């Protein structure tokens, strides 16, 4: 029996008989306006691109499974954690941060590590990075910081002068700068990086007791990094190396896994913590707050269409599920607003109806209409509340316990008030955590980048940064100064 073939159609479904030649007056004649399919093809093509993400534009993603391996019901009532063995589908998008959509995968940059858990209680998005900290601790500085990572307004080139000027004037960045210039700033592939929720989150249990929590995703493939020169060489050889690595590994059925772990802090511990536990430039030392295993993530399916699922994926730290909550981390609070806002701009107000973003649970509310509304739009049900007709209820059992604030003053407080120690943790990283070779590579990577600082402020920018390095570690500052061939007087 002959195979039944599909008919070519217009977008409105009309079978169409000619795909290659336009309708003309005679074989050499002008094209007729009435060749509607020609306009449809050209017009659709002109609109194929949507705005690329301002940050995290270059990325790749895969679906997989999350399995709960340990009982944490004493900390959270989240349904996904109600029983060891519970599973849910996940989608992870990895990315670089500063580069455009066509930029190289091996750039020195943090890596985005965003996980969407499709749970029976709605979507939970853990929108993290491959580093536990960040460059800034107040969202008001975010756009300024990102401008320094992008292109110079005049030359349209990346500018080490802008970067080091900003970092030097914001010493809170030092911790993340140290990680960025270690070999972890150039991971070998996404499979070989850790993920971190980075912010402090909260968990609430069935007794409505709250604890503070940090999430860690530890690669089971082992940490593997490029050195600076290896990353540069790969950039010239294969711009899409990390994407290729993930797609091909999953194609070979080598499914990458990450162990999910948490650190837990009580409110009493938070009050006496040496640093501000809600400061995104700080970690919680493992010796004081040990990692606890909670589950395993596995990626096992590359989406069959990149644009549909990866480009249109929209993660938001605001998307938590009952039993998991926010904290006072200022950066988290800023992201609660800015991520959904970015998606509304990039994908439209109904972005959560796009299949990759859609929860597996029923969505019931009074939001209606808007561009690209593709679900039932509430059918003929009331579009206002309260009403006397429908059976949608606001379930009070989902209410979180109240939070007591430690101040009744609203003002513009210095973000570093009582916490301007930007140096102890970078120093611990350099001396205690990094092996000798990694220290040497970090120094060489810093020298390589700072050598690119140019212009009349060069000396000032370098000296300022050396002072910060010195406060973290004397040897670090001296060696960077030697590498840059500058005189440094602490
Ligand atoms: P630990 O010795 O208990 O842990 C050190 C951590 O550092 C490990 O998680 C390790 O990750 C990670 N690490 C190793 N090399 C690098 C690098 N080049 N860049 C970033 N992370 C790296 O130390 P403490 O908890 O006492 O913290 C000491 C320092 O370690 C911190 O100041 C911080 O800079 C860094 N760190 C701490 C983390 C935390 O949550 N406490 C998390 C990540 C880093 P792995 O085990 O996967 O190799």
Task: Quote the pLDDT of residue 105.
Answer: 98
- The minimum-distance atom of ligand 1 relative to the CA of 131 is 20
- The minimum-distance atom of ligand 1 relative to the CA of 425 is 32
The CB of 206 under 6 Å from ligand 1? The reply is no
* Alpha carbon of 295 to ligand 1 centroid (Å): 20
The CB of 449 under 6 Å from ligand 1? The reply is no
The CB of 429 under 6 Å from ligand 1? The reply is yes
CA-nearest residue, atom 37 of ligand 1: 283
Task: Quote the pLDDT of residue 431.
Answer: 97
The CB of 132 under 6 Å from ligand 1? The reply is yes
CA-nearest residue, atom 14 of ligand 1: 433
Task: Quote the pLDDT of residue 107.
Answer: 98
* Alpha carbon of 431 to ligand 1 centroid (Å): 11
- pLDDT by residue for the chain (490 residues), tens digit each? 557 899 999 999 999 888 899 999 999 999 999 999 999 999 999 999 999 999 999 999 999 999 999 999 999 999 999 999 999 999 999 999 999 999 999 999 999 999 999 999 999 999 999 999 999 999 999 999 999 999 999 999 999 999 999 999 999 999 999 999 999 999 999 999 999 999 999 999 999 999 999 999 999 999 999 999 999 999 999 999 999 999 999 999 999 999 999 999 999 999 999 999 999 999 999 999 999 999 999 999 999 999 999 999 999 999 999 999 999 999 999 999 999 999 999 999 999 999 999 999 999 999 999 999 999 999 999 999 999 999 999 999 999 999 988 899 999 999 998 899 999 999 999 999 999 999 999 999 999 999 999 999 999 999 999 999 999 999 999 999 999 999 998 8
CA-nearest residue, atom 30 of ligand 1: 429
Neighbours of 131 (CB within 10 A): 23
Rounded Cα distance, 439 and 403, in Å? 43
- The minimum-distance atom of ligand 1 relative to the CA of 442 is 18
Rounded Cα distance, 341 and 116, in Å? 18
Phi, psi of 300 (to 5 degrees): -145, 10
Domains recognised in the chain with CATH numbers: 25-158+187-361 (2.40.180.10), 423-490 (no CATH)
The residues near 107 (Cβ < 8 Å, ≥ 6 apart) are 96, 98, 99, 186, 231, 235
The residues near 256 (Cβ < 8 Å, ≥ 6 apart) are 190, 191, 219, 220, 221, 246, 249, 250, 298, 299
* Alpha carbon of 363 to ligand 1 centroid (Å): 40
* Alpha carbon of 247 to ligand 1 centroid (Å): 29
The CB of 428 under 6 Å from ligand 1? The reply is yes
Neighbours of 145 (CB within 10 A): 17
* Alpha carbon of 284 to ligand 1 centroid (Å): 10
The CB of 283 under 6 Å from ligand 1? The reply is yes
The CB of 275 under 6 Å from ligand 1? The reply is no
pTM (predicted TM-score): 0.97
Residue 238 belongs to what H/E stretch?
none
CA-nearest residue, atom 42 of ligand 1: 132
Neighbours of 389 (CB within 10 A): 9
- The minimum-distance atom of ligand 1 relative to the CA of 291 is 40
* Alpha carbon of 429 to ligand 1 centroid (Å): 7
Task: Quote the pLDDT of residue 2.
Answer: 55
- Which of 132, 174, 284, 433 most suits a substitution to test ligand 1, by most atoms within 8 Å of the C-beta? 433
- The minimum-distance atom of ligand 1 relative to the CA of 427 is 32
The CB of 425 under 6 Å from ligand 1? The reply is yes
Catalytic site positions: 56, 129
Phi, psi of 343 (to 5 degrees): -70, -35
**410, two tokens:** 């609203």
The residues near 398 (Cβ < 8 Å, ≥ 6 apart) are 322
* Alpha carbon of 465 to ligand 1 centroid (Å): 23
Q: Can you tell me which residue has the tokens 């990626």? A: 299
């Amino acid at each position: 029996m002959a195979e039944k073939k599909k008919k070519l159609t217009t977008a409105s479904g009309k079978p169409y008989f000619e795909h290659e030649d336009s309708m003309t007056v005679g074989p050499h004649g002008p094209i007729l306006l009435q060749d509607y399919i020609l306009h449809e093809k050209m017009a659709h093509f002109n609109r194929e691109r949507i705005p690329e993400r301002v940050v995290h534009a270059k990325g790749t993603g895969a679906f997989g499974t999350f399995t709960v391996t340990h009982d944490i019901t004493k900390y959270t009532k989240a349904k996904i954690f109600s029983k060891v063995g519970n599973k849910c589908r996940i989608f992870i998008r990895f990315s670089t941060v500063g580069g455009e959509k066509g930029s190289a995968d091996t750039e020195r940059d943090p890596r985005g590590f965003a996980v969407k858990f499709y749970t029976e209680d709605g979507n939970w998005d853990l929108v993290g990075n491959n580093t536990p900290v960040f460059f800034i601790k107040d969202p008001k500085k975010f756009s300024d910081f990102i401008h320094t990572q992008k292109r110079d307004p005049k030359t349209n080139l990346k500018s080490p002068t802008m970067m080091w000027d900003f970092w030097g004037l914001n010493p809170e960045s030092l911790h993340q700068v140290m990680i960025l210039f270690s070999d972890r700033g150039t991971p070998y592939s996404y499979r070989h990086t850790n993920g971190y929720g980075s912010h402090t989150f909260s968990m609430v249990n069935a007794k409505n007791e709250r604890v503070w929590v940090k999430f860690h995703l530890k690669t089971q493939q082992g940490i593997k990094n490029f050195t600076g020169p290896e990353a540069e060489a790969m950039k010239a050889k294969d711009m899409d190396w990390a994407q290729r690595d993930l797609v091909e590994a999953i194609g070979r059925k080598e499914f990458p896994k990450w162990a999910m772990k948490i650190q837990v802090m009580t409110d009493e511990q938070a009050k006496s913590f040496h640093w501000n536990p809600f400061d995104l430039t700080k970690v919680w030392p493992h010796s004081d707050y040990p990692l606890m295993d909670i589950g395993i993530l596995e990626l096992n399916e590359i989406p069959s269409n990149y644009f549909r699922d990866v480009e249109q994926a929209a993660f938001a730290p605001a998307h938590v599920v009952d039993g998991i909550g926010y904290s006072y981390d200022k950066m988290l609070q800023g992201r609660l607003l800015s991520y959904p806002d970015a998606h509304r701009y990039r994908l439209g107000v109904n972005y959560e109806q796009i299949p990759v973003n859609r929860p597996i649970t029923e969505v019931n509310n009074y939001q209606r209409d808007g561009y690209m509304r593709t679900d039932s739009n509430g059918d003929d049900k009331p579009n206002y509340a309260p009403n006397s007709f429908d059976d949608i209820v606001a379930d009070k059992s989902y209410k979180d316990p109240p939070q007591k604030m430690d101040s009744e003053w609203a003002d513009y407080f210095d973000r570093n008030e009582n916490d301007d120690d930007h140096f102890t943790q970078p120093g611990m990283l350099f001396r205690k955590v990094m092996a000798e070779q990694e220290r040497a590579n970090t120094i060489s990577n810093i020298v390589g980048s700072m050598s690119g600082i140019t212009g009349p402020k060069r000396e000032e920018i370098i000296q300022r940064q050396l002072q910060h390095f010195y406060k973290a570690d004397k040897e670090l500052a001296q060696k960077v100064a030697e590498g840059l061939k500058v005189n440094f007087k602490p």
